[in-house]
Structure 1
Amino acid sequence: MIRKATAHWRGTGRDGDGDLTTDSGVLSQTPYSFKTRFEDTPGTNPEELLAAAHAGCFTMALAFQLQQAGFDPESLETQAAVSLEADPAGGFKITRSALTLTAKVPGLDEAKFDELAGNAEKGCPLSKVINAEITLTKTLL
């Protein structure tokens, strides 16, 4: 399976701008720029997209973990907060992806919840490629 996206950029790093398009069409010439990345201008940025991807990947992995264990989740909601910081070696680097999960799963006890959520965090394909600290805070309702 191969998934594709295209970035198109015009101009310099600080003053230029670009757009992102995915083959699925979910993103279609979605604007991004220095201002959408480092300020609050509308548009997206690579870290936001990584956060969305990590939250989605982890949540789907947990849904499969729960299903295999015989649980039917009522709701799973995950926020991923990706940190971009200055790199002492130069430039910037992603240093952390902090996952915050709220789950409502009838019949699931806390110990099994901890086990399955931990398995999902480690087993999610994006967790396996993110070269940064990954944390998981979870609440079972």
Structure 2
Amino acid sequence: MTFNFKTENIKRTAKAHWSGNLKEGKGELTTQSKILDKTNYSFKTRFEGDTTGTNPEELLAAAHAGCFTMAVSLAITEKGLNPDSLDTEATVTMEGFSITSVHLSITGSVSGINADEFEAITKAAEQNCLISKVLNIPISSEAHLIS
């Protein structure tokens, strides 16, 4: 995949603040863009899921879904086509204190492409999007093309 715009030396930042012990403590996450601005995260949001807030694994899933979907869009665009819509769900699997895999499920509506071509594009993006490249875990994907 090639880019026709400058991507050199881009830096993105996020900040985490934590108070208290692991189980009863709580934290806040803030991103450079402020889309997350003192967003709650805690043991409960991470391991119990019964409190409003986020967690690192959910954020990883969001980052991977976004990166993968953009990589698929790029590959389709490079074929001279324009995707009508692309929707991806990323599932991060955690076992104990290890992230063991990510599964990406994409559904796309793209005129001028068949299901085999769409799947080939998604398989390349599965391995080559920037988030996939930094993860050292199994990554799988499935593609669904809507006619």
Equivalent position of 2:31 in the other structure:
22
Give the Å deviation of 1:111.
Answer: 2.0
> Can you give the 5+ residue segments of structure 2 that lack an aligned partner in the other structure?
1-9
Question: Matches of 2:126 and 2:103 in 1, distance apart?
Answer: 11
Q: Give CA-to-partner distance per residue, 1:40-60, whole Å, 9 cap, x none.
A: 211000000000000000000
Equivalent position of 1:89 in the other structure:
none
Question: Matches of 1:5 and 1:37 in 2, distance apart?
Answer: 18
State which of 15, 24, 27 in structure 2 corresponds to 1:6.
15
Matches within 5 A, 1:9-88: 9-40=18-49, 41-86=51-96
Give the Å deviation of 1:73.
Answer: 0.5
Question: Matches of 1:111 and 1:100 in 2, distance apart?
Answer: 15
Under a length normalisation based on structure 2, what TM-score does the superposition of the two structures give? Answer: 0.90
Under a length normalisation based on structure 1, what TM-score does the superposition of the two structures give? Answer: 0.94
Report the identity percentage: 49
Give the Å deviation of 1:118.
Answer: 1.3
Question: Matches of 1:13 and 1:132 in 2, distance apart?
Answer: 26
> Can you give the 5+ residue segments of structure 1 that lack an aligned partner in the other structure?
87-91
Q: Which has the higher contact order (CA 8 A, sep 6+)?
A: 1
8 Å CA contact 2:119–2:142 kept in 1: the answer is no
User: After the TM superposition, which segments of 4 or more aligned residues of structure 1 sit over 4 Å from their partners?
Assistant: none
Equivalent position of 1:108 in the other structure:
113
The count of residues paired between Structure 1 and Structure 2 equals: 136
State which of 128, 133, 137 in structure 2 corresponds to 1:128.
133
